[in-house]
Chain A
């Protein structure tokens, strides 16, 4: 697999009043195309910050982040917005659907930034919703859906533009066990069947089990050991 994301000696420091709080401390990492990486670590370890940097919604204090051959830290604000629209699909813990739009309209949102016609947009949305198994619920509003269904709509919104990377931040954090399993199975199938590259932050070792490999962060640094799906399979055998 060729590398899709290259993170080179990335530091990130936040300023809190007069204090500087280092969050990431010299992270270097490569994510191959088609990988499914779980980022684990205790609260404050910097995993969400790392995810935000990969997704282009935050900038590193130093170091470089190269996605698909382009260093995204050099993009202007508007270039970065356009880049995110084309290359990133977001999945949030609390789904973050727009409550005044129904499932179809929520999924359609990222497509409004494209030049697709209304008919083409409809086709894309229907495809995305059928992939997540919600083809029958496209005109339901978020309040009319269960948490699991809302998260599947959010996943449909994330994949509808066929992005280069899916970034998921605690995607099962607000779900019960059954819905969490279904969501993770969906992500796994998106990775295996549609070769989507996924970077997922999670606290849950069970969730991380669905990833191809798991990276551990401790105090802004990557822990030495990173276990892969294959290693885990071997261990369990």
Chain B
């Protein structure tokens, strides 16, 4: 087969414009497939962070809140180290386009429960001491050009008050650097002391306790007015994904549709390419190239074409998202985005599969061409 590489390579680029456009099409599709799969990987991958955290929310619905009183009951459970209540706020800065994630959290327990968020101790103390203080992710500070000590107003969106805050510290996180945190007390006061929060983050002593504790917690509140649903942070993230409309299924469907589309387009291109060479294929067969050799040469060419498209698209995605931080780009909505070697290998295999499927029929037809039929026009 190596002897025919030159012929395969030359045939591949005989119509450069068509080849380049086909590769560009395949590259574009594979770029998006790679990105989608990378995002999906982020949603479903296990991270070390949160391995010792449970998330408790309402069992009724995602918008139903839980009473503060649940906290004391949680603290009495053996294995519970600390609890931090959290409420997603959804305010924005000046303009609705300046949207970012902002939460009200328990200022006393935030650093203990979220020990993966790093804050300068003095800034943390200053934040704790200021009822209207805010901790801001470093990326967010850069985005708006904020300074520590600056006063900002977050305009209300869902909750009926504008949050007037003073930035007291900068928070650093390996994945989420673009969120803002302020005091639950201030939020609760602004909500007329409703005494409710959406989530309770529970830090446990040992990751082995995650499963039994979550069952115990839910059993404890099962028959009350506010039943709960408790899960590990990882499962919670997966649950959020499910709540968002089964993104995994959506992404897979989009990718499959894209692959199907590219198979059909590639089949047209490859069929055209094979038809243009009927005479040449007949000549090859006349001079002794047997059916398997013709089939192998044609299929190799088509698979190489697809592979080039797949590799370029995947490498482009890898290169671009090495420079651009997906988490920052999506304001923390997409975490753990990574284009692994396994993903790239998978894309290469899919690309070759596309070449095999799209080029299969034209190659098979070419290999079965009767020499006299192919030569008829010229002989």
Contact = CB atoms under 8 A, between A and B. Distances in A.
Interface of A: 48, 52, 55, 57-58, 77-78, 81-82, 84-86, 88, 90, 92-94, 96, 98-101, 105, 109-110, 112-113, 157, 169-170
A77 B290 contact: yes
Contacts of B280: 96, 98-99
B373 to A, nearest CB: 10
Contact of A100 (B11, B289, B372): B11
Interface string B341-379: 000000000000000000000000000000110010011
B4 A82 contact: no
Contacts of B371: 52, 57-58
Given A48-B379, A93-B379, A81 B289 contact: yes
A159 B10 CA distance: 24
B290 A78 contact: yes
Given A92-B379, A99-B14, A169-B379, A81 B4 contact: no
Contacts of B7: 98, 100-101, 105, 109
Given A92-B378, A93-B379, A109 B284 contact: yes
B287 to A, nearest CB: 5
Contacts of A78: 290-292
B3 interface: yes
Nearest to B283: A96
B378 A84 contact: no
Contacts of B290: 77-78, 81-82
A92 B291 contact: no
Given A81-B288, A84-B286, A96 B378 contact: yes
B288 A86 contact: yes
A110 B14 contact: no
Contacts of A52: 371-372, 379
Interface string B21-44: 000000000000000000000000
A81, A84, A85, most chain B CB atoms within 10 A = A81
A109 B379 contact: no
Closest 3 CB pairs of A and B: A85-B288, A100-B10, A81-B290
A71 B242 CA distance: 71
A114 B7 CA distance: 16
A86 B287 CA distance: 9
Contacts of A94: 378
18 contacts: A48-B379, A52-B371, A52-B379, A81-B285, A81-B290, A84-B288, A88-B287, A90-B286, A93-B379, A100-B7, A101-B6, A101-B10, A105-B6, A109-B7, A110-B288, A112-B3, A113-B293, A169-B379
B279 interface: yes
A77 B291 contact: yes
Q: Chain B: interface secondary structure?
A: helix
B13, B284, B287, most chain A CB atoms within 10 A = B287
Interface in B133-185: none
A90 B6 CA distance: 22
Interface residues of B, number: 26
B371 to A, nearest CB: 4
Contacts of B372: 52, 57-58
A84 B375 contact: no
A84 B293 CA distance: 14
Interface string B311-338: 0000000000000000000000000000
Interface in B262-292: 279-280, 283-292
Contacts of A58: 371-372
A52, A57, A84, A90, most chain B CB atoms within 10 A = A57
Nearest to A110: B287
A85 B294 CA distance: 14
A78 B6 CA distance: 24
Contact of B4 (A96, A100, A112, A169): A112
Given A98-B280, A112-B3, A112-B4, A85 B379 contact: no
A169 B187 CA distance: 93
B287 A85 contact: yes
A96 B284 CA distance: 10
Contacts of A157: 287
Given A52-B372, A100-B14, A93 B378 contact: yes
A48 B6 CA distance: 33
Contacts of A112: 3-4
Given A48-B379, A57-B371, A113 B10 contact: no
Given A58-B372, A101-B10, A90 B289 contact: no
B279 to A, nearest CB: 6
Contacts of B3: 112
Nearest to A160: B287
Given A99-B14, A100-B10, A92 B283 contact: yes
A113 B285 CA distance: 11
B6, B289, B379, most chain A CB atoms within 10 A = B379
